[in-house]
Amino acid sequence: MLGNEQIVFVGAGAMGSAMISALLSRSIVAPNQIIAADPRRDICDELVRSYEVNVSTDNALACKEADIIVLSVKPEVLDKVFRSLSGSIGSDTLVISIVAGVKLDALVEGLKHKSVIRCMPNTPAQIGKGITVWTESVGVSSFQHEQTKLLLESLGRQIFVDDEKYLDMATALSGSGPAYVFLFIEALVEAGVNIGFSRTVAEELVYTTIKGSLDYAMNSSKNLSDLRTQVTSPGGTTEAALRCLEAGEFRTIVSDAVSAAYQRSIDLGKNS
């Protein structure tokens, strides 16, 4: 549990609300330590109803006494947020940004503040099963580093990196990763329907197969290639399917897709 720190979420949409929910459900903070600052009255009302946290539609007022500020807004409103927070961030306050593609330098400069964390969470964070890669500006103290670790662990796993270049890589692999997995699941369900299953049965078969395979792989001492070979008898059904995937250059397509996301993340960062 954190101490009595006050945490302000600037932007309390999907990710901000998920973080608030995760922090409270793991008792890392009490509801009265949280302020959600968001222009959406419906979101604020829902947060009060569900979690009894404090809410505000005024960023500057909300952040005046903050120990930790979490920036969880879309990149396109960030300049407006910088302006709204000008002169309202205490010198000992830690700012944690989950805004995709915006670099540490741009955050430090835009906020005129030295202690800034940049992180890349992913959507499973919304159920506490995400993975967040994060880095920090030179002004972050070791105490603030530990605070961040604790906060991010409420979203799932966390990995600290001391070079910001890994943030772009993480964006391409784990940040965008859930979308690749969902696409693969969609394609597999569609394939099941095409050979004659009802959608309901195809979904149950595919979801359970993916979850079971993942749990099996994570609990096995064998590597992925050994596990694959184990289900691939020579001349059998799996071999027929895998030959088809390899002929379609499945691995190359996946690699190209991740490289495209990586390049896009670098390009977006140049404009931030």
Ligand X SMILES: NC(=O)c1ccc[n+]([C@@H]2O[C@H](COP(=O)([O-])OP(=O)(O)OC[C@H]3O[C@@H](n4cnc5c(N)ncnc54)[C@H](OP(=O)(O)O)[C@@H]3O)[C@@H](O)[C@H]2O)c1
Stretch that binds ligand X, among 92-100, 140-148, 210-218, 222-230 (CB under 6 A): 92-100
Among 98, 152, 202, 206, binds ligand X (CB under 6 A): 98
Q: How far is the CB of 212 from ligand X (least distance, A)?
A: 25
For residue 183, which phi and psi values (nearest 5 degrees)? -65, -45
Q: Tell which positions 71-90 bind ligand X, by CB under 6 A.
A: 72-75, 77, 80-81, 84
In the chain, the amino acid numbered 140 is V
Among 6, 8, 11, 133, binds ligand X (CB under 6 A): 11
Instruction: Compare residues 126 and 202 and give the one whose CB is closer to ligand X.
Output: 126
Among 22, 35, 100, 117, binds ligand X (CB under 6 A): 100
Taking the C-alpha atoms of residue 7 and residue 238, their distance in angstroms, rounded to an integer, is 52
For residue 268, which phi and psi values (nearest 5 degrees)? -65, -40
Is residue 112 exposed (0-12), middle (13-18) or buried (19+ Cβ within 10 Å)?
Answer: exposed
Instruction: Compare residues 17 and 192 and give the one whose CB is closer to ligand X.
Output: 17
Is residue 135 exposed (0-12), middle (13-18) or buried (19+ Cβ within 10 Å)?
Answer: buried
Q: How far is the CB of 226 from ligand X (least distance, A)?
A: 33
Question: What are the residue ranges of helices labelled H in the chain?
Answer: 14-25, 41-51, 59-63, 78-85, 104-111, 142-153, 165-170, 177-194, 199-219, 224-230, 237-247, 250-270
Q: How far is the CB of 261 from ligand X (least distance, A)?
A: 13
Instruction: Compare residues 179 and 241 and give the one whose CB is closer to ligand X.
Output: 179
Q: Tell which positions 106-145 bind ligand X, by CB under 6 A.
A: 121-123
Q: Tell which positions 22-51 bind ligand X, by CB under 6 A.
A: 37-40, 43
Give the residue nearest to ligand X (CB). Answer: 13
Taking the C-alpha atoms of residue 114 and residue 92, their distance in angstroms, rounded to an integer, is 9
* Interacting residues with ligand X (CB under 6 A): 10-16, 37-40, 43, 59, 72-75, 77, 80-81, 84, 98-100, 121-123, 175
